[in-house]
Amino acid sequence: MADEITWFTVRLALLGLSPASGPQAAKNLADELPFNTYLRNPRVIWESELHRIVIQVDTEDTKPGSAANQVREEMMEILAAVWKDTEGTHYELLGVEPSTDQ
């Protein structure tokens, strides 16, 4: 029996941006995310005290781990498209859970 496709809410933190560039990078990501057809209900927040961008999106997949990997890969591509200096940045998984918004 095949695994059932489910909606998951994935939360990631983007780390490695300077405090000066973080707010603009967050805005650029927030502006670009609505154009991605695979990720729904995007939320992007710059947490200045922790020097990180928190990204939360909903995506479809069969398992939480593969949903998190898919979102991480998509976010790496989106960041590279909207921000020129991605060297030193990385994502930390904050959580994956079944979505309640779908």
- Residue 24 within a domain: yes
Q: Which residues are bridge partners to 45 per DSSP?
A: 54
55 within domain boundaries: yes
Does a structural domain hold residue 25?
A: yes
Q: In a structure prediction context, what are the per-residue pLDDT tens digits for the chain, which is 102 residues long?
A: 568 999 999 999 999 998 999 999 999 999 999 998 889 999 999 999 999 999 999 999 999 999 999 999 999 899 888 888 888 899 999 999 999 876
| Inter-residue contact 51 to 19 (CB < 8 Å) | yes
Residue 59, domain extent? 6-85
For the domain that residue 60 is a member of, what is the CATH number? 3.30.310
The number of distinct structural domains making up the chain is 1
Structure pTM?
Answer: 0.90
The answer to whether residue 20 is domain-embedded is yes
Burial class from Cβ neighbours inside 10 Å (0-12, 13-18, 19+) for residue 88 reads: exposed
In a domain, 1, yes or no: no
